[in-house]
Amino acid sequence: MDDELQAKIKTLNELIWEGRLPWTDVGRWLSQYAPSPDNGYSEQLHALFLLSQFSFFNATLMRTLLRALFRDFVQHPIIVRLRKRRHHTLDWNILEPHYTRALNRIRFIGVGNPSESGTHLLYYFRQENRLSTNLFVHPHELFQGSAAAPRLLGGIRQLVFLDDFCGSGTQAIRYSKRLLMRIREISDATRLSYYPLFATTSGLDRVRSRTLFTDVQALCELDESFRAIDASSRYFRNIPPSINQEFAAEMCHRYGSLIEPRAPLGFGKCQLLLGFSHNIPNNTLPIFWSTGTTDHPWNPIFPRYTKGAGW
Amino acid sequence: MDRYLLFYKKRLSLDKRWAGRWDIFISAYNSSERVPLIFQKVRAGEKHWLILPEYRYLPDEYPKVGEAHADPASNEIEFMSKFLAKLGPNLASKRIAIDITGFIGHYVLVLVRLLQILGVAECDVIYGEPVRYLHSERTRFSDEAVLSVRQVGGFEGIHTTDTSDDLLVLGVGYDFRLIAEVANEKEHARKVQLFGLPSLRPDMYQENLLRASKVSEAVGPDASVPQHFRYAPAHDPFVTASVLSKLVREHRASYPRANVYLSPLSTKAQTLGFAIFYLAECLETATSLVYPFCDCYMQETSEGLSGAWLYHLELANLAHHSVGGLS
Amino acid sequence: MADLKNPFDLVKATDLSDGQIAEYFVDFPGGASLIDRIKPTSPMPMFIFGGKGSGKTHLMRYLSYPLQLRRQAEPSAPIAIANQGYLGIYFRCGGLNAQRFFGKGQPQEVWEDIFAYYMELWFGQLVLSTIIDLCQNSPTVQSVRLISDVNRLLDVLPPQVPATLQEFADHLEFLQREADVAINNCALTGRLDVQIKVTRGRLVFGLPKTLVGHLTEIRSILFLYLVDEFENLTEIQQKYINTLVRERQDPCSFKVGVRLYGLRTKQTVNAGEENREDSEYEALRLDAELRERPDAAQFNFARDLVHRRLLQAGYITKSAAEEFDVSRWFDLGESSSVNVDSTLPHDRYRDGEAPYIANLRRKLEQGVKTGSAPGLKTTSDIQQVIAAIRLPGQLLVERTSTFLLYRAWARGKNLLPAAEAISDSAKNYISGSKETPHGEVLRYFRADIVAQLLRETKQKQRYLGFGTFVKMSAGLPRGLLTVLKHIFMWSLFYGEQPFQQDRISVRAQMDGVAQAAEWFFTEARAPGPIGALVRDAMTRLGQLLREVRFSDKPSECSLSSFSANLTTASQKAIEVLKEAENWSMLIRIAGGQHDRNEGRVDEKYQVHPMLAPRWDLPIARRGALALSGEEVTAIFAPLEMAEFEATLRRRVSAMTAPYFGQSPSANTLLLPGLANG
């Protein structure tokens, strides 16, 4: 089992982690767990097992997803509308000017403040989809006119809020609360869309029920089975005898409580095994990204900061 | 703007009734839950079940509702031709819907080709996504004894004598052994792997990648070089066609005399995309579709129905090629 | 780390560009040259048989025109190739996608004619593209007489008669395209609209003949058709090529490359006619040929291969291959040292007693209880034996003592005196005596005893060092490259700097070897149901050989082979065995095995050394397990699993204490002290 897992880690390293995690680094992370006992379950083996199940999206994959998001959520709906109104024509010469006009009535905003990954995302979203900078605004740029007679930026029909990851939904809720209310006060008709690349089902549900967003959809949705150590976890459906779910859960709780006391299983208790090249969401199990506390420092395997290599 | 991206597609809601009504509905019988579920939801004048021989269903296992077609045939083209002949004349005037969920890959290809030849201008294609695949990593979609890897009838293309820059595009799915069979058959060709991303579930891409890596020797040095990977959504035939178009065009720009082999081994939706691309751009070029033909396929590979897609296939607007003569 | 380029990445000849074919080509020196063996200038046709990865394609491409060009001093005067005496025209049968010439509602005879016509067009285009490039600076190639003669080769000319060779070539391409479309559409329409415009042989043979007739520079050149991937043709199509081989005309000849399993027929299209080896064609069995070369030659060949790769990848600068010490890059651990003790984990032993001593004790106890331990009756007897065998701090010698005791036991000898004799032998051996039982056993069984020690201490078997990898590849250069490729990747993964700094670690080598063995087992498989049968059979065989190897008293040393009386094996078993051989999982050993008792010569096979790691078998080949026909059947095609299990049990129990195959009751009849010895 050990060999199999190690071979899997090696493959992941070659194909997805861009060669950045040689065995020496993995070994360093593993050494923080108890060594394998003569009988009974091994912490190191379980840590290795969880690592082998980790879903990592590197820069190339993120770019592909950003293209998919634009194409499927923004571009295609416009095209469908336009074709239907014009006898289903496939002639792009006819459609193009209308498409450009429709696109120009949309503005893209990143969720969170400019230093956070939600906005970081915007740059690559724009680049990947070859969109004009005009289509990207900061929230304050949306409002025109005076305080007494405020107006929305002219001709805007839809505001698309982009995010890389929606875990508990808290950030999206908090961020958008005032902004959306302000917009709604001025305009009833503007479509307010929230499109995270990745989101948990529960996070999306919270955003849908607690915000004024008109439509909320994620490109990649993570249902309950993505909660790594929950009963319904997908990761433990087919496991060898040396792996035990309760053992893994207890281990994650224990280490998590030491290194991230506020969120031993990741923020929002999401228990995720998910990471991106630019960042690891703090909803992921802390054993992967936390640096610990002064009392209990920890050597993470996927440090949680923006990697220089970028996208 | 890529023409493929203009075609209509939409998600079908599982809770509501489906708006469409068709004259003829065609599905391939398969014990995966999603197939009979879709069959039930579709409203059509006639509903037909194709009993594909490779599933080895016995007559008492045939579905009771709808008309079952199990005529013996020596190959996939004969099977499909016989079936279409039974649907009567003037197919081109009927509204047709096809659920490709339960199909075996090469039947999708052949059906679409024959419909085009019969003059059908457009039809709707449905594809259902499962809640989960059976046995996740261990899912096997076919009996692994591959009988032969060959070109799909009607998709053989022309051939050039210079095989030094040939290209094989593999639509990568769970069945990595099939990938190895096809890759070994076209050992001499450069390989490009097309992965499903976005995938049905976010972790499926990585699972597919890991499985495909088991046959990396067969695929060759390009197997381990992510720069040689391409991506198209697992559920979207049109984007698949678009990605294929771009990559084949790029290859041909450098190697105009290359023979290009396409092998769709992933989802049915992507297989449809291969067919669309072929019919749109590859007829009478040095391009062919190759497939590992198996004796027998598993009757059930998934649980549940998590979602369904409807694609509007505008066959008349793909290309203008006739069957006979040179272009 | 990710930046270090893997010098062994390109493992298949098909992945190599022409430049790389040239750069990576390695031959045996002087008279042992493979190129000479292939005889490119000889008009006698040749079939080159090779397993996957034998280097067949590499060799054939090396002979092809583009590579010939590269080899000559003046690439701008291609015509100088005429001095090489031949013109290599290479193509792959796979490119024909020959399965499309079948069925679709057409009778077989029609397909035969179409295929023959198609091959004329194919060969014709290949010849012309080569000649046009070759003679680009030669004025005669424009001659009207030449074109006119070439045009006459066709039965039907196009309205626009070709005025140059290029136009003629274009016309052939047009005709072929026409045929492609018709063949493709036939699947859909049921009609096959192909008009045959060339008579058989007119282009294959006629075109070269016409060309040498006019082009004086190449008047004595041999047009060498290098037909690769012959296995991709159906039987009927192979008959057609066989016919061309048989009816070969000057100035043409053929070298046909085919996988071991790939020659479906030797017959031609004429009823009752068959090509015979050494009559109509010569045969070169490439991997067998490579395997039979002297070990040193094989080692050097492999070294040169690696040297070339490392040079190209920039790991070493210009140096002579002979001076390159490839072995030093691989850490052999301690396994090469005489005393293997330091590598074994003493702390794994309970009460300081090695596992094999504990086992021995247990078996002695069992033997005493059932009267199967000659000369032993009490616990103190057992203690005495154990004390004589034990030699703390000398694991290898101690283990050898255990081995000797089991051997004595199997022979029914009284174990007390036997143990004493063994104790003396051990002491003598350690003090350097030449002829001792220990020395004798270690001469043959050393590797096996070390293997047993590793197994008993729960360590992996060791396959280390360049020499080992060369032996593992056994005639398949791709095997060696694959092993090295994987080792390189593991080495990087472990944070090492292979071929730059230190030696490649033991664990990187072992992981790489294991991965390569896995690849070999899964890839080298026949398609269809027989593939699964072959793999299952090999697994059973591997299991049997392993159990024997690690038994208390193995009958053979370095067991990786078996000999078999196939005359009494079932048809199915023989079929599966032959397939295993065709797919290089088994190597047939020339000369077979002489059965001492009955004077017959049995077939002998070795498990391909690439697979040895799967079942902890040795790479070397010394002993062979003699199997009866029934046993072969039980291994290769048992009707039910129980058949094999019975064979396994019977064989292994004969080598296992305390009964060594006898039933306990038989032994109780023996009065202690009356047993021989």
Residue A268 distance to chain B (closest CA, Å): 20
Contact status, residue C660 vs residue C654, Cβ threshold 8 Å: yes
Name the token pair of C239: 């008959």
User: Distances in Å between the alpha carbon of B36 and those of A69, B31, B58, B67, B98?
Assistant: 31, 8, 17, 13, 13
B271-280, C289-298, C433-442, C660-669: least confidently modelled range: C660-669
A111-125, B106-120, C158-172: least confidently modelled range: A111-125
pLDDT given for residue C341 in this prediction: 54
Residues whose CB is less than 8 angstroms from the CB of residue C76 and which lie 6 or more positions away in sequence, other chains included: none
Domain that holds residue C535: 524-639
Residue of B78, B161, B187, B211 to mutate for C, most C C-beta atoms under 10 A: B161
State the DSSP string of C117-164: HHHHHHHHHHHHHHHHHHTTT-GGGG-HHHHHHHHTTSSS--SS---S
Name the token pair of C474: 């056994």
- Pairwise CB contact (< 8 Å): C2 & A20: yes
Residue of A23, A25, A36 to mutate for C, most C C-beta atoms under 10 A: A23
Q: How far apart are CA C450 and CA C460, in angstroms?
A: 11
- Reading chain A (311 residues) residue by residue, the pLDDT tens digits are 688 899 999 999 988 888 888 899 999 999 999 988 878 899 999 999 999 999 999 889 999 999 999 999 999 999 999 999 999 999 999 999 999 999 999 999 988 765 566 667 888 999 999 999 999 988 888 888 877 777 888 788 999 999 989 998 988 998 888 889 888 888 888 999 999 999 999 999 999 999 999 999 999 999 999 999 999 999 998 888 999 999 999 999 999 999 999 999 999 899 999 998 888 999 999 999 999 999 999 999 997 764 333 43
- Pairwise CB contact (< 8 Å): C1 & A13: no
Q: How far apart are CA B305 and CA C531, in angstroms?
A: 36
Give the one of B138, B198, B236 whose C-beta lies nearest to A219's C-beta.
Answer: B198
Q: Compare C15 and A193 and report the one with higher pLDDT.
A: A193
Taking CA–CA distances from B11, the nearest residue in chain A reads A72
- For chain B, list the contacting chains (3+ Cβ pairs, <8 Å): A, C
Residue C448 and residue C506 in one domain? no
Residue C74 and residue C217 in one domain? yes
Give chain A's domains with CATH numbers: 60-140+155-222 (3.40.50)
Residue C363 and residue C438 in one domain? yes
Q: Compare A307 and C204 and report the one with higher pLDDT.
A: C204
Residue C121 and residue C190 in one domain? yes
Q: Compare C354 and C388 and report the one with higher pLDDT.
A: C388
pLDDT given for residue C391 in this prediction: 87
pLDDT given for residue A36 in this prediction: 81
Residue C501 distance to chain B (closest CA, Å): 25
Question: In this model, does residue C342 exceed pLDDT 60?
Answer: no
Report residue B301's pLDDT band, with 50, 70 and 90 as the boundaries: confident
pLDDT given for residue C421 in this prediction: 94
User: Which residue among C292, C312, C327 closes a domain?
Assistant: C292
- Pairwise CB contact (< 8 Å): C188 & B74: no
Report residue C350's pLDDT band, with 50, 70 and 90 as the boundaries: low
pLDDT given for residue A308 in this prediction: 36
Taking CA–CA distances from B200, the nearest residue in chain A reads A220
ipTM: 0.91
pLDDT digits (tens, 9 = 90+) for B194-211: 999 999 888 888 888 888
Report residue C241's pLDDT band, with 50, 70 and 90 as the boundaries: very high
Q: What is the mean pLDDT of residues C109-132?
A: 96
Residue C423 distance to chain B (closest CA, Å): 51
Question: In this model, does residue B258 exceed pLDDT 60?
Answer: yes
Contacts of C494 in chain A (CB under 8 A): 22-24
* C392: β partners: none
- Pairwise CB contact (< 8 Å): B9 & A76: yes
Global pTM reads: 0.91
- Tell me which DSSP letter residue B282 carries: I
C87-101, C346-360, C390-404: least confidently modelled range: C346-360
pLDDT > 90: percent of chain C: 66
pLDDT given for residue B297 in this prediction: 81
pLDDT given for residue C597 in this prediction: 77
Name the token pair of C515: 């991965």
Going C68 to C70 to C74 to C78, the CA torsion angle's sign is positive
Contact status, residue B117 vs residue B279, Cβ threshold 8 Å: no
Question: Among candidates C590, C613, C612, which has minimal Cα distance to C601?
Answer: C590
Specify the 3-state DSSP secondary structure of A117: helix
Residue C587 in domain: yes
Contact status, residue B26 vs residue B102, Cβ threshold 8 Å: no
The residue whose two tokens read 């439509």 is A215
Q: How far apart are the first and last CA of chain C?
A: 64
Contacts of B210 in chain A (CB under 8 A): 8, 11-12, 15
Residue of A17, A55, A195, A274 to mutate for B, most B C-beta atoms under 10 A: A55
Give the one of C122, C184, C531 whose C-beta lies nearest to B156's C-beta.
Answer: C184
Residue C364 and residue C396 in one domain? yes
pLDDT given for residue A23 in this prediction: 93
Specify the 3-state DSSP secondary structure of C66: helix
Question: In this model, does residue C605 exceed pLDDT 50?
Answer: yes
Report residue C594's pLDDT band, with 50, 70 and 90 as the boundaries: confident
Between strands B132-133 and B190-196, the pairing is unpaired
Question: In this model, does residue B145 exceed pLDDT 80?
Answer: no
Report residue C336's pLDDT band, with 50, 70 and 90 as the boundaries: very low
Residue C673 in domain: no
pLDDT given for residue A20 in this prediction: 83
Residue C505 in domain: yes
- Pairwise CB contact (< 8 Å): A75 & B5: yes
Report residue B144's pLDDT band, with 50, 70 and 90 as the boundaries: low
Question: Considering chain C, what is the average pLDDT of its residues?
Answer: 89
Contact status, residue B205 vs residue B197, Cβ threshold 8 Å: yes
Buried b (16+ CB within 10 A) or exposed e, A210-237: ebebeebbbbbbbeebbbbbbeebbbbe
Report residue C674's pLDDT band, with 50, 70 and 90 as the boundaries: very low
Question: Among candidates C175, C174, C18, which has minimal Cα distance to C88?
Answer: C18
Contact status, residue B109 vs residue B275, Cβ threshold 8 Å: yes
Contact status, residue B98 vs residue B289, Cβ threshold 8 Å: no
Q: Note whether A210 contacts B: Cβ–Cβ < 8 A.
A: no
Taking CA–CA distances from A81, the nearest residue in chain B reads B8
pLDDT given for residue C582 in this prediction: 92
Residue C14 in domain: no
Contacts of A234 in chain B (CB under 8 A): 136, 203
**3-state per-residue secondary structure call for B61-108:** HCCCCCEEECCCCCCHHHHHHHHHHHCCCCHHHCCEEEECCCCCHHHH
- For chain C, list the contacting chains (3+ Cβ pairs, <8 Å): A, B
pLDDT given for residue C596 in this prediction: 74
Residue C510 and residue C554 in one domain? no
Residue C391 in domain: yes
Question: In this model, does residue C604 exceed pLDDT 80?
Answer: yes
Taking CA–CA distances from B230, the nearest residue in chain A reads A64
Give the one of B163, B217, B326 whose C-beta lies nearest to C519's C-beta.
Answer: B217
- Pairwise CB contact (< 8 Å): C489 & A20: no
Give the one of C91, C99, C181 whose C-beta lies nearest to B326's C-beta.
Answer: C181
Name the percent of chain A in helix, strand, coil, to the closest 5: 45, 15, 40
**3-state per-residue secondary structure call for C194-217:** CCCCCCCCCCCCHHHHHHHHHCHH
Residue C44 and residue C99 in one domain? yes
As for how many domains chain C has, the answer is 4
Contact status, residue B68 vs residue B49, Cβ threshold 8 Å: yes
Residue C112 and residue C146 in one domain? yes
Residue C372 distance to chain B (closest CA, Å): 49
Q: What is the mean pLDDT of residues B116-136?
A: 87
The residue whose two tokens read 């000797």 is C404
Contacts of A76 in chain B (CB under 8 A): 5, 9
pLDDT given for residue C72 in this prediction: 82
Residue of B129, B200, B206 to mutate for A, most A C-beta atoms under 10 A: B206
Residue C168 and residue C285 in one domain? yes
Report residue C337's pLDDT band, with 50, 70 and 90 as the boundaries: very low
Q: How far apart are CA A88 and CA C292, in angstroms?
A: 72
Residue A3 distance to chain C (closest CA, Å): 9
pLDDT given for residue A117 in this prediction: 63
Contacts of C171 in chain B (CB under 8 A): none
Between strands C282-285 and C46-50, the pairing is parallel
Q: How far apart are CA C524 and CA C580, in angstroms?
A: 9
* C257: β partners: C48
Give chain B's domains with CATH numbers: 3-134+302-317 (3.40.50), 136-294 (3.40.50)
Residue C282 and residue C315 in one domain? no
Residue C118 in domain: yes
Contact status, residue B144 vs residue B117, Cβ threshold 8 Å: no
Residue C138 and residue C271 in one domain? yes
pLDDT given for residue C623 in this prediction: 87
Question: In this model, does residue C592 exceed pLDDT 90?
Answer: no
pLDDT > 70: percent of chain C: 94
- Pairwise CB contact (< 8 Å): A16 & B209: yes
Question: In this model, does residue B326 exceed pLDDT 70?
Answer: no
Residue C323 and residue C366 in one domain? no
pLDDT given for residue C150 in this prediction: 95
Give the one of C12, C95, C527 whose C-beta lies nearest to B220's C-beta.
Answer: C12
A48-57, C64-73, C221-230: least confidently modelled range: C64-73
- For chain A, list the contacting chains (3+ Cβ pairs, <8 Å): B, C
